[in-house]
Structure 1
Amino acid sequence: MLHTLILAAEEGAEHEDSVLVPPLAELIVGLLAFGLLVGFFFWKVYPQVRKTYAERTERIEGGLKRAETAQAEAQVLLEQYRSQLAEARTEAARIREDAQAQGRQIVEELRAQAQQEVAEIRERADATLVAERAQVVASVRREIGEIALELATRIVGRELENDASQRQLVDDFIAGLDEAPRPAAAPAGPGA
């Protein structure tokens, strides 16, 4: 290329009138200026451009690495969350089963307690009935004794004065009633 320019410059010297071919001095100065400009570019501008490009590449690659790291961490956290959620569901199912078992146990305990209370109430009622029956029997014996004594006094025509003999007479009469066969109950009629 330089050779071509020199030839063109020589021809330009012969043809000073040519506008397309610059004079040799201008050509050399232009080439030197261009060379200096290219040298300055590679000396000052190109390292700065390269540095900026490297920083930008580093930022982009660092951002990508950070994004990949963040994505990996997010994936780990998601797996932990899913694991914890599965554990929580398992725990909730276990708690629910325990609660149901405890509920059944409480119901059984309450049922047993209620049955025990019913049995105790029946025992107390039976004891009360026995006591009331004994009281009624004693009261009826006393009344029957008084009636029998009054009847015996009227039949005999004299009053029995001895309390011991009265008691003995009443007891004998009641013992005779207990041993006597009981007649079958007559059907209750409209006048009864």
Structure 2
Amino acid sequence: MNIELGPLRPDPSMLALGLAQLFLLMFALGVVLLPRIERVRAQRWDATEGRVERAEAVRAEAEATRDAALEEIGAARHEAARIRQEYTEQGTAAITAARAEGIRDRERLLAAGRARIAADRAAAATRLRQDVGGLAVTLAGRVVGEPVHAIAAERRTVDRFFEAH
């Protein structure tokens, strides 16, 4: 295979040297330069798009935390409303019981007061009858001019008068 290349015919030693340099250059690129380029590219990606992804992750976590907090607040509000309702019912029951007890006490006091008034009225009426009877007998004695105590006591005139009226 003898191809005539004319003036482009390479020298085999130069061709071997060129190939050796090419492999050396490729080796240097693969071992030193490409890892450095990849590291810089990863840092740039991390600085730009990586922050966006981290920000999205942080935002998603914050939303989840907020949703959990809102759910917890809702549960706490529900519990507070239940407790308020329970204590309102207990307060209403206590007020009703206190009102009933107060009404019973009032009725008891009124009954005792009425009984005491009735007893006092009866005692006052008895005392008044005695005093009026005594005054009537004394007045009758003054009108007649002599004492009528013995006659009035014997005939029970004053008692019969009060019984009739």
Question: Which interval holds the TM-score relative to the shorter structure?
Answer: 0.5 to 0.7
Contact 1:145 1:174 in 2 (8 A): yes
In structure 2, distance between residues paired with 1:8 and 1:177:
176
> How many residues matched?
159
Amino acid at match of 2:93: Q
1:24-75 CA deviation, whole Å, 9 max, x = no partner? Answer: 69x756776555433322232123334x1686499677x9589648836852
Amino acid at match of 1:71: A
Q: Are 2:129 and 1:141 equivalent residues in the alignment?
A: yes
In structure 2, distance between residues paired with 1:72 and 1:155:
117
In structure 2, distance between residues paired with 1:24 and 1:9:
9
The answer for the alignment partner of 1:102 in structure 2 is 90
**Distance 1:110-1:174 versus aligned 2 partners, 3 A rule:** farther
Among residues 66, 71, 79, which one is paired with 2:60 in the alignment? 71
Among residues 98, 102, 109, which one is paired with 1:121 in the alignment? 109
Instruction: Give ranges in structure 2 of 5+ residues lacking alignment.
Output: none
Q: What's the offset of the Cα at 1:88?
A: 1.6
Q: What's the offset of the Cα at 1:113?
A: 2.8
**What SS does the corresponding residue of 1:116 show, helix, strand or coil?**
helix
The answer for the alignment partner of 1:169 in structure 2 is 153
**What SS does the corresponding residue of 2:156 show, helix, strand or coil?**
helix
The structure whose residues are more often helix, as a share, is: 2
**What SS does the corresponding residue of 1:136 show, helix, strand or coil?**
helix
Alignment of 1:1-192 (within 5 A): 7-10=6-9, 33=21, 35-50=23-38, 52=39, 56=43, 64=53, 68=57, 71=60, 75=64, 77-154=65-142, 157-159=145-147, 169=153, 172-180=156-164, 182=165
**Who wins on radius of gyration, i.e. which is larger?**
1
* More contact order relative to length (CA 8 Å, sep ≥ 6): 1
- Give the fraction of aligned pairs with identical amino acids, expressed as a percent: 20
**Distance 1:124-1:148 versus aligned 2 partners, 3 A rule:** same
User: What is the RMSD of the two structures over their aligned residues, measured on CA atoms?
Assistant: 4.4
Runs (4+) off by over 6 Å: none
Amino acid at match of 2:110: R
Please report the TM-score for the alignment, with normalisation by the length of structure 2.
Answer: 0.63
Q: What's the offset of the Cα at 1:149?
A: 2.3
